[in-house]
Chains A and B, each alone.
Chain A
Amino acid sequence: MKAANSMSLIKLANGKIYDPAHQVDGIVKDIFIRDGRIVNRPHNDEPITQTYDLTGKVVMAGAIDMHTHIGGGKVNIARMMLPEDHRGNEQAHTDVCGSGCGHAAPSTLTTGYRYAEMGYTAGFEPAILPINARQSHLEMGDTPIIDKGGYAMLGSDDFLLRMLTAKQDQNAINDYVAWTLHATQAIGIKVVNPGGISAFKFNQRKLDLDEHHAYYDVTPRDILKTLSRAVHELGVPHPLHVHANNLGVPGNFETTLSTMGASEGFPLHLTHIQFHSYGNEGDRKFSSAAAQISEALNNNKNISADVGQILFGQTVTASGDSMMQHLNANHANPKKSVIMDIECDAGCGVVPFKYRDQNYVNALQWAIGLEIFLLSNDPWRIFLTTDHPNGAPFTSYPHLIKLLMDKSFRDETFAKLNLDAQAMSTLSSIDREYSLYEIAIMTRAGAAKLVGLRDRGHLGADAAADITVYTDNADREKMFAKPDFVFKDGELVVKDGAVIKVTWGATHTVKPEFDRGIEKDLLQYFDKYHTIQLDNFKIGNDEIENNGRGKIIVQPCEGRREKSV
């Protein structure tokens, strides 16, 4: 038994609690923190080390960004190719923080500080190229305060496409998927333009859901079906994370609707769905299909989505989708782009972009994102993202929250947009305003559940004490931009919107069981065709632990299915 007096006990008194995981909607109560975790009200004789009087304050779990490009090759290329993004956005070092810079593609230190200062305590890199996983983890390891983790990209890797072509059985695929999760220290699996990144290397310039790859005997639908099933059967909590085919193409909502059916009932998460909700109606052959997409989302309970809202201004798009980014490079602003084929494993494309409110397409993209938010009726299955930095930098989240919570502000902003775009959007006819409770679902409880973080995103006993305290303010942008307090694992790291202490956060992973026999095939394959050793492909725990600064948290895989015969 631990001695109570050896531990500190912190009391957050009288805050107004929003904790959707426990159906707590704005109830005033106390929270106790001991040793970095939330605990039940202790015995009256246990001394309280410190009390924060939170009377009138809003208290939520720390926010979780379930899709944000914060670490890995393409992010670093974005930083490297955009010195103009950094100039004027420098941050001098202080006694507490290291220096850094950047707006759309900030340095790692700056990224961690900015997230924490907005009350975020975790962010998940959605596109870890398995071959590039070491770099992703190195960059995330240099991202302070917040917890992190990532989704490993499969679906254009030669090994999987070869397995599918050979009609290998689902058990073998499951083993390969599990092996990849272990090797890359990831918490989920993502597929980007299924098959398309590979097809581009064979000079295909587009790939529809049921179109055949030029070399392998597979279609994107096959890939989605097999991978979503693998993730499910392995018991990985996060559903297959899908960046669908035909990103950005007018009329692509049809592909998106069909993609929802491609998993044949297995859970799917459709990411930055805004970029996949375009019709091709009207004079400009570009229209909103938010209504159709939201309706389908509402009706298909196995589907979740994050929005990938665009907001106006300069940003940079960084994606694994080399095929579509190669097309988008024509719209680059400033005019430059980096497109890469990578290791028979994946690819990437980095294209700077400026969204303008007087541009018809951009204005409508803005409206489409908001329409999807407002027409989707289950906040547990829709998530608040800008697909940082692709739609906008993550620092614009408070502004986005205000757009969702404040109809008059939204209508005012809408009224200033390109007039033709206004005419093509139903946005001003939607009255819905998100509540604080719904915001807490989207950015905390729902996100934690979706990613599979057992002990985050809620304020129940034994949760990690990742807690954000705001001053209630009718101006929601101001409120969410500058929390009064942020606690990370029980330590006060942000006060009045500024970092006062730098900690390093943990890396969340899953480690589903699998048959290690798969390594025999992989070893042969690597020796014959790759340029590195299989052993060096795998990221060791010690690499992430980095002499004690980092930490791995293995989240549970529950409901794992036995091998099918």
Chain B
Amino acid sequence: MAPNQMKVTCPACSLLCDDIVVKLDEHQQSMKVIANGCAKSIQFFEQTVTDSKPTINGNPVDLNTAINKAAEILKLANQPLIAGLGTEVQGMRAIMHLADKTGATLDHMHSDATMRNTLVLQNSGWQTTTLTEVKNRVDLLLVIGTDIVSSLPQFFERIIWNESTLFEQDTSTREVIYLGGGKGLDTSAGNSPNGTQPSVINCENAQLPEVIATLNALINGKNLTTDKIAGINLVDLQSIADRLKCAKYSVITWASSAFKFGHSELLVQAITECVRTLNTGSFKFSTRSAGLPLTSGDGDSSVSNVATWMSGYPLRSSFKRGYPEYNPYEFTTEKLLSNNEADLLIWISSFKPVAPSPNSLANHKLPVIVIGHPNMQFEQQPDVFIPVRILGLQEKGLMFRMDSSVTLPLTQIMNSNLPSLSDVCTQIELALNNHESGK
């Protein structure tokens, strides 16, 4: 590495590439991505960070005052909700501690998408794989309802069109099929280096449940009488089924965030059922297949894993009774706010300046504490805002990759005068203890 250069992990998407080469300018103030980056990582590492101070009702205060105010508000709350939760392992550990102590309910900004997968895990389970397996093994990639690259820009170049594999595969012969995704699908990344175009069989995602049900039936060898499903020719689906059965190691991937309709966990389940059938179907032992759920990022995998080992439950969970409870249908930010079941919102977003949605706050007067990215802007000033170091840029951390099998260190590349999220949580807890002991 040249001077001022280092290789770091990028938390900007859930691929979590850990070979991004960045270079600090001589004043250690700004940064350039030198190698291996993408649009998202450049945006993350080269962002201009505002010089931000804690505020109470929009007025700048010192950190102690903000911490004490936050503790005072928290002390008065009966049903605090800690949401957003854009953080990594260490931050989440501190939050879990605080939540247990204060009887808080926990929800992540991407829980809607995460829950679609978690519910399937809890209902039927699934058979999945991880990125290095895909990179070295996949011969047929079926992409359902997404183009992948809009959220994971380097997926194809790193995982599908890699130059070499462990098992002498010519990766340019890998087959890529897009199924569904609707308008605006960018399938260009699916073009093989040898010029082969991917198969694109499009429909609206809301139509995927019937399309995948049909695909399942075809994999099972059923004869169907219709010749079109959701505008898709049955022969095209039959061709997908046949190719899946002939593959050595097919990978079926989906992004549950793209399934924005009621009970779409059933669609996730149907997709995983295809994988299960391929591995155990009547043509048993002829093929291997595996699922690959794509996650949304902002620490969703990290938060879910930490919550699970520390409390027993993934999100959406609550400590309001003094012990952990899990309710994926009730402990949602939207419901708790609209039913006035929360009397305090603590919003956390330390990767991106994502403020709590003004809509969710419009109708109630509940106090709001925001802890997060220094560049955060508000339509409505929170009671307390505490800017914290940006994880992976100004603060080190540990982060789970989308496939949960790999946890990688985030590096502190630049200095910051701000506290870390963990420090803030710990200090709020200390301030709460002082309140309790009457100091």
Q: Which residues of A contact B (CB under 8 A)?
A: 71, 73, 75-77, 79-83, 86, 90-93, 98-102, 105-110, 129, 131-132, 134-135, 138-139, 142, 158, 162, 200-203, 205, 215, 326, 329, 332, 335-345, 350, 528-533, 536, 543
Contacts A99-B324, A102-B312, A158-B166 known; list 17 others, CB within 8 Å: A82-B122, A86-B324, A93-B101, A93-B322, A100-B310, A129-B405, A132-B405, A132-B406, A326-B279, A338-B128, A340-B129, A340-B405, A528-B164, A532-B408, A533-B19, A536-B409, A543-B398
A-B contact pairs, 26 of them (CB 8 A): A73-B405, A75-B309, A80-B122, A81-B122, A83-B313, A86-B313, A100-B323, A107-B324, A109-B310, A131-B132, A131-B406, A132-B405, A135-B407, A139-B309, A203-B287, A336-B124, A336-B125, A337-B125, A339-B126, A340-B128, A340-B130, A343-B132, A529-B136, A533-B18, A536-B18, A543-B398
Q: Answer whether residue B116 sits at the interface, using C-beta atoms and an 8 A cutoff.
A: no
- Identify A345's interface contact among B132, B304, B314, CB under 8 A: B132
When distances are taken between beta carbons in the complex, the residues of chain A under 8 Å from B304 are 80
* Contact (Cβ within 8 A) A99 B132: no
User: Roughly how many angstroms separate A21 CA and B132 CA in the complex, as a whole number?
Assistant: 46
Taking chain A's interface residues, is the majority helix, strand, or loop, or is none over half, making it mixed?
mixed
* Contact (Cβ within 8 A) B130 A335: no
* Contact (Cβ within 8 A) B305 A76: yes
| A107-B121 contact in complex given A343-B406, A344-B166, C-beta closer than 8 Å | no
* Contact (Cβ within 8 A) B319 A99: yes
B394-430 vs A, Cβ < 8 Å mask (1 yes, 0 no): 0000101000111111000000000000000000000
User: Roughly how many angstroms separate A332 CA and B406 CA in the complex, as a whole number?
Assistant: 27
B157-175 vs A, Cβ < 8 Å mask (1 yes, 0 no): 0110000111100000000
| A142-B93 contact in complex given A131-B405, A529-B135, A531-B131, C-beta closer than 8 Å | yes
Q: Answer whether residue B133 sits at the interface, using C-beta atoms and an 8 A cutoff.
A: yes
- Identify B159's interface contact among A98, A132, A350, A531, CB under 8 A: A531
* Contact (Cβ within 8 A) B123 A107: no
* Contact (Cβ within 8 A) A83 B248: no
| A139: nearest chain-B partner, CB-CB | B309
* Contact (Cβ within 8 A) B407 A107: no
* Contact (Cβ within 8 A) A138 B133: no
Q: Answer whether residue B82 sits at the interface, using C-beta atoms and an 8 A cutoff.
A: no
Q: Answer whether residue B290 sits at the interface, using C-beta atoms and an 8 A cutoff.
A: yes
Could you tell me the distance in whole angstroms from the C-beta of A138 to the nearest C-beta in chain B? 6
Could you tell me the distance in whole angstroms from the C-beta of A260 to the nearest C-beta in chain B? 30
| A205: nearest chain-B partner, CB-CB | B285
User: Roughly how many angstroms separate A86 CA and B310 CA in the complex, as a whole number?
Assistant: 13
When distances are taken between beta carbons in the complex, the residues of chain B under 8 Å from A100 are 310-312, 323-324
Q: Answer whether residue B127 sits at the interface, using C-beta atoms and an 8 A cutoff.
A: yes
When distances are taken between beta carbons in the complex, the residues of chain B under 8 Å from A543 are 398, 409
* Contact (Cβ within 8 A) A80 B308: yes
Which B285-334 residues have a C-beta within 8 angstroms of A? 285-288, 290, 304-305, 308-314, 319, 321-326
When distances are taken between beta carbons in the complex, the residues of chain A under 8 Å from B314 are 80
| A81-B121 contact in complex given A201-B288, A343-B133, C-beta closer than 8 Å | yes
User: Roughly how many angstroms separate A108 CA and B310 CA in the complex, as a whole number?
Assistant: 6
User: Roughly how many angstroms separate A528 CA and B305 CA in the complex, as a whole number?
Assistant: 29
* Contact (Cβ within 8 A) A342 B308: no
Which B101-146 residues have a C-beta within 8 angstroms of A? 101, 118, 121-133, 135-137
Q: Answer whether residue B383 sits at the interface, using C-beta atoms and an 8 A cutoff.
A: no
| B121: nearest chain-A partner, CB-CB | A81
| A202: nearest chain-B partner, CB-CB | B288
* Contact (Cβ within 8 A) B323 A101: yes
Could you tell me the distance in whole angstroms from the C-beta of A306 to the nearest C-beta in chain B? 24
* Contact (Cβ within 8 A) B323 A90: yes
| A204: nearest chain-B partner, CB-CB | B285
| A348: nearest chain-B partner, CB-CB | B405
* Contact (Cβ within 8 A) A335 B312: no
Q: Answer whether residue B9 sits at the interface, using C-beta atoms and an 8 A cutoff.
A: yes
Could you tell me the distance in whole angstroms from the C-beta of A382 to the nearest C-beta in chain B? 31
User: Roughly how many angstroms separate A107 CA and B308 CA in the complex, as a whole number?
Assistant: 7
* Contact (Cβ within 8 A) A341 B19: no
When distances are taken between beta carbons in the complex, the residues of chain A under 8 Å from B248 are 203
When distances are taken between beta carbons in the complex, the residues of chain A under 8 Å from B129 are 340-342
* Contact (Cβ within 8 A) B310 A201: no
When distances are taken between beta carbons in the complex, the residues of chain B under 8 Å from A350 are 125
When distances are taken between beta carbons in the complex, the residues of chain B under 8 Å from A77 are 121
* Contact (Cβ within 8 A) B133 A342: yes
- Identify B309's interface contact among A79, A82, A92, A201, CB under 8 A: A79
User: Roughly how many angstroms separate A343 CA and B249 CA in the complex, as a whole number?
Assistant: 14
When distances are taken between beta carbons in the complex, the residues of chain B under 8 Å from A203 are 248, 285-288
| B285: nearest chain-A partner, CB-CB | A205
User: Roughly how many angstroms separate A533 CA and B122 CA in the complex, as a whole number?
Assistant: 33
Could you tell me the distance in whole angstroms from the C-beta of B245 to the nearest C-beta in chain A? 12
- Identify A135's interface contact among B93, B101, B305, B325, CB under 8 A: B305
Could you tell me the distance in whole angstroms from the C-beta of A529 to the nearest C-beta in chain B? 5
When distances are taken between beta carbons in the complex, the residues of chain A under 8 Å from B323 are 90-93, 99-101
When distances are taken between beta carbons in the complex, the residues of chain B under 8 Å from A343 are 130-133, 405-406
Q: Answer whether residue B393 sits at the interface, using C-beta atoms and an 8 A cutoff.
A: no
User: Roughly how many angstroms separate A455 CA and B309 CA in the complex, as a whole number?
Assistant: 29
* Contact (Cβ within 8 A) B321 A529: no
* Contact (Cβ within 8 A) A338 B125: yes
| A352: nearest chain-B partner, CB-CB | B125
Q: Answer whether residue B335 sits at the interface, using C-beta atoms and an 8 A cutoff.
A: no
When distances are taken between beta carbons in the complex, the residues of chain A under 8 Å from B285 are 203, 205
User: Roughly how many angstroms separate A90 CA and B318 CA in the complex, as a whole number?
Assistant: 12
Q: Answer whether residue B100 sits at the interface, using C-beta atoms and an 8 A cutoff.
A: yes
| A350: nearest chain-B partner, CB-CB | B125
* Contact (Cβ within 8 A) B121 A335: no
* Contact (Cβ within 8 A) B128 A93: no
User: Roughly how many angstroms separate A129 CA and B130 CA in the complex, as a whole number?
Assistant: 13
Q: Answer whether residue B89 sits at the interface, using C-beta atoms and an 8 A cutoff.
A: yes
| A92-B310 contact in complex given A335-B124, A338-B125, A343-B130, C-beta closer than 8 Å | no
Tell me which of B159, B287, B312 has the highest count of chain A C-beta atoms within 10 A of its own C-beta.
Answer: B312
User: Roughly how many angstroms separate A171 CA and B430 CA in the complex, as a whole number?
Assistant: 54
When distances are taken between beta carbons in the complex, the residues of chain A under 8 Å from B313 are 79-80, 83, 86, 101
| A344-B310 contact in complex given A99-B100, A134-B407, A529-B166, C-beta closer than 8 Å | no
- Identify B100's interface contact among A76, A79, A98, A531, CB under 8 A: A98
When distances are taken between beta carbons in the complex, the residues of chain A under 8 Å from B133 are 201, 341-344
When distances are taken between beta carbons in the complex, the residues of chain B under 8 Å from A93 are 100-101, 319, 322-323
| A536-B9 contact in complex given A79-B312, A82-B122, A83-B313, C-beta closer than 8 Å | yes
